[in-house]
């Protein structure tokens, strides 16, 4: 198996959803950082941005002032190489809420749905080295 050197970042205030997303992405070949808020996610991006290939963020993340929409925009502006999945079970995006390259994922999500979106947004150079076998 090829070494895993691509990272994903999961930002969700719900620990169960965060752990589920982490498990799905780890199964797809990513090493996964996790954050419980947009502010914590930005700190991780500041430290590890060049190695991160995917941001998976929830929209609503209380109690902080930033939403997943804010996080997606800051990520797209500062780290344009990162693929972005924005998930929500309550707040679908309006036009202009998420960056053009971001993909919206409705909750509840399944492993198959996440993997299909990964195939759509990540190029071969962005995904894990063993992406061909992991995402098939």
pLDDT of residue 41: 97
Taken in order of first residue, the domains within the chain and their CATH numbers are 7-134 (3.40.50.2300)
Give the tens place of pLDDT for each residue, 63-99: 889 999 999 999 999 999 999 999 998 878 999 999 9
* pLDDT mean for each 10 residues of the chain (136 residues): 69 95 94 96 95 95 91 96 92 90 90 88 53 38
pLDDT of residue 6: 85
pLDDT of residue 21: 96
pLDDT of residue 67: 94
- If we measure between CA atoms, which residue out of 47, 37, 128, 129 comes closest to residue 83? 128
In what order do the strands lie in the sheet containing 103-106? 31-35, 7-11, 52-58, 83-88, 103-106
pTM of the predicted structure, to 2 decimals? 0.85
pLDDT of residue 125: 42
User: What is the spatial distance between Cα 136 and Cα 60, in angstroms, rounded to a whole number?
Assistant: 31
């Amino acid at each position: 198996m090829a070494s895993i050197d691509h990272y994903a970042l999961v930002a969700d205030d719900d620990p169960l959803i965060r752990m589920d997303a982490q498990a799905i992405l780890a199964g797809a070949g990513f090493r996964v950082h996790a954050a419980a808020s947009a502010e914590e996610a930005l700190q991780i991006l500041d430290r590890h941005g060049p190695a991160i290939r995917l941001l998976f963020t929830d929209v609503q993340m209380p109690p902080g002032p930033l939403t997943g929409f804010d996080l997606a925009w800051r990520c797209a502006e500062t780290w344009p190489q990162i693929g972005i999945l924005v998930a929500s079970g309550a707040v679908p995006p309006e036009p202009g809420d998420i960056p053009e390259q971001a993909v919206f994922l409705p909750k509840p999500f399944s492993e198959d749905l996440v993997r299909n979106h990964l195939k759509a947004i990540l190029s071969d150079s962005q995904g894990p080295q063993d992406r061909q076998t992991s995402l098939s």
